Amino acid sequence: MKTQVAIIGGGPSGLLLSQLLNQAGVDTVLLERASRKHVLSRIRAGVLEAGTVQMLHEANVAQRMEQEGIPHDGVYLSDDDLMVHINFKELTGKQVMIYGQTEVTADLYAAQDAMGTTIVHTVEDVVIEGADSASPKVSYSVGDQRFAIDCDYVAGCDGFHGVSRKTIPEKNRQTFERVYPFGWLGILSRTKPAHDELIYANSSNGFALASMRNQNLSRYYIQVPLTDRVEDWSDEAFWTKLKSCLPSDIAKTMETGSSIEKSIAPLRSFVSEPLRWGNLFLVGDAAHIVPPTGAKGLNLAVSDVFYLYHGLVQALKTGTTEGIDCYSERALTRIWKAMRFSWQMTTMLHKFADEDNFAAQMRTATLKHLSQSETARRDLAENYIGLPF
Ligand code: FAS
Ligand code: PHB
C-alpha cells in the first residue's frame, strides 16, 4: 500500500489531521490500535478553546457542536466559600465551548466515513521504519496478516503510550516531566449541573471540579491520592467528598445521583522534544501531557494539528518544506505556554500531602488577588480561552 501521509492513532489528533488533509486532497491511511467502539467509549475532555472551535469549523465537523454544545462566558474559581468569576467574554471578548471530546471524536469519525478515507482499526505491532529516510514505511498486523505502507510522511498521533515517540532514538530526544502526587477521580452522572458554569474549587479538603456535558449530564472530579482505586469509592462517598470541597451554598442545592462512568486519571506534565525526526512528526499526547486542570490537553493537540496540517499541505503541494521544517519549534512555543498555565492552575488549586501551612496561605492569597485584580483575571482568562495559534 502507498499513501502520502500515514497517521498512527485514531483519537482526536489523528482524526482531525486526516480530515483536514483529505479535504485538501492529500491521501492518508490512519491506523488505530483499538476498535472504534472502544475509542468512542472514552470519557475525556469537556472544554473546547475558541481556536479549537474554529478548527472544527474549518474541518466541516462543527454542525452538531453548534447545535448541542454550550458556549460559556466564564468559569468560577473558589476558595472554600469565596467564589471568583473569571468572565472571559468581558476580559477577552471570547468564549469557550462545552462539548465533550467523545462527541468531537464521533463527529470526526462520521465525517471521515462520509469522505471514504482509509481507517484501519484493531491494528497490532505497528512499526515505523526509515523515518529518517526519504522513504519511510509503516508496517502493522491485523489478525495473522502483516501489511506495509510506503509513505512520504508519518504523523505520530498515538498518544502517550504509543509507538511513535519511542521510535525516535533516545539520543535524539529530550523529555521533561513533573508527576503530581495525586490523581483525579471523575464521574459522569445524569444530573443537573451544580452551577451555570464550571467551578474549579480549592478547599481545605482538597481540589474539586464541577463540570458538565449538557443540562442533564454532569461531570465531576475530586482530587484523590495516587494509591486510591476506583473500587475504593462508592457514589455516596464521592458526593460527600465533592460537597466538602465546593462552596457551601452550591453543595447545599446540587443534585446527586448514580454514576454512569467512574475513573481515576493520574496527573502529569510531560514534554518530549523535538516533535520531528526525519519524516516522522509527533502530535498531541504522543508529544506532551498536561494535567487537566487547565483544560489544555485536547486543545493543545488541535494546535499541533493546525501547524502540521499547513506544513504538510505546503510540502506535498508545492515542495516547499518551510512549514514542516519549523513545525517542532512553532508547536513547542505554544505547548510550553500551555504547560506553564496547566502547572500553575494545578499548583494553585491542589493541596499537596506534604505541604506546610505556608503553601495553603499562598493558594488563598492567589485566589484573593484574583478576586481583587482585573489584570490577574485577564491573564488567567487569556490563557484559559487559549493563546493564539
Ligand atoms: P489520544 O490518546 O486521545 O489518542 C491516541 C490514539 O492512538 C488512541 O485512540 C490509541 O488507541 C491509539 N494508539 C495508541 N498506540 C497505538 C499504536 N501503537 N498503534 C495505533 N494506534 C495507537 N484533556 C483535557 O483537555 N481535559 C480533560 O478533562 C482530560 N481528561 C483526560 C482523562 C484521561 C483518562 C486521559 C488519558 C486524558 C485526558 N485528557 C484531558 C487529555 C486528552 O483529552 C488528550 O489530550 C487527547 O485525548 C489527546 O488526543 P490525541 O493526541 O489524539 O491522543
Ligand atoms: C471536563 O468537563 O471533563 C473538564 C473540564 C475542564 C477541565 C478538565 C475536565 O479543566
Q: Are 156 and 195 within one domain?
A: no
170 pLDDT tier (thresholds 50, 70, 90) = very high
Q: Are 49 and 122 within one domain?
A: yes
Task: Determine the distance separating the centroid of ligand 1 and the alpha carbon of 251, expressed in angstroms.
Answer: 32
User: What is the span of the domain harbouring residue 215?
Assistant: 181-263+352-385
pTM of the model: 0.97
Q: Are 166 and 282 within one domain?
A: yes
Q: Are 130 and 277 within one domain?
A: yes
Strands 199-202 and 174-189 come out as: unpaired
Q: Is 219 in the pocket of ligand 2 (CB under 6 A)?
A: yes
Q: Are 199 and 315 within one domain?
A: no
Q: Is 46 in the pocket of ligand 2 (CB under 6 A)?
A: yes
Question: Is 113 inside a domain boundary?
Answer: yes
pLDDT one-digit tens code per residue, 12-47: 999 999 999 999 999 999 999 999 999 999 999 999
Residue 386 near residue 52, CB atoms below 8 Å: yes
In DSSP terms, which residues pair with 200 in a beta bridge?
A: 77, 209
Question: Is 87 inside a domain boundary?
Answer: no
CATH number, residue 9: 3.50.50.60
Q: Are 152 and 255 within one domain?
A: no
Q: Are 139 and 203 within one domain?
A: no
Long-range pairs of 372-377 with CB within 8 A, sequence gap ≥ 24: 374/91, 377/84, 377/86, 377/87, 377/91
Using a pLDDT cut of 90, give the percent of the chain over it: 99
Q: Are 57 and 116 within one domain?
A: yes
Task: Determine the distance separating the centroid of ligand 1 and the alpha carbon of 383, expressed in angstroms.
Answer: 22
CA atoms within 13 A on the CB side of 299: 33
3 state SS of 302: helix
Q: Are 15 and 156 within one domain?
A: yes
Q: What is the mean pLDDT of the chain?
A: 97
For range 235-252, the mean pLDDT:
98
For range 94-119, the mean pLDDT:
98
Q: Are 319 and 356 within one domain?
A: no
Question: Is 123 inside a domain boundary?
Answer: yes
Question: Is 88 inside a domain boundary?
Answer: no
What per-residue confidence (pLDDT) applies to 291?
98
Active site residue 140: no
3 state SS of 364: helix
Q: Are 20 and 127 within one domain?
A: yes
Question: Is 134 inside a domain boundary?
Answer: yes
- CB 371: neighbour CB atoms within 10 A? 15
3 state SS of 43: coil
pLDDT one-digit tens code per residue, 333-358: 999 999 999 999 999 999 999 899 99
Question: Is 142 inside a domain boundary?
Answer: yes
Q: Is 97 in the pocket of ligand 2 (CB under 6 A)?
A: no
CATH number, residue 363: 3.30.9.10
Question: Is 22 inside a domain boundary?
Answer: yes
What per-residue confidence (pLDDT) applies to 102?
97
Q: Are 128 and 35 within one domain?
A: yes
For range 158-166, the mean pLDDT:
98
How far apart are the C-alpha atoms of 376 and 366, rounded to whole Å? 9
Using a pLDDT cut of 70, give the percent of the chain over it: 100
How many structural domains compose the chain?
A: 2
In DSSP terms, which residues pair with 265 in a beta bridge?
A: 184
Strands 47-48 and 96-98 come out as: antiparallel
What per-residue confidence (pLDDT) applies to 236?
98
Question: Is 90 inside a domain boundary?
Answer: no
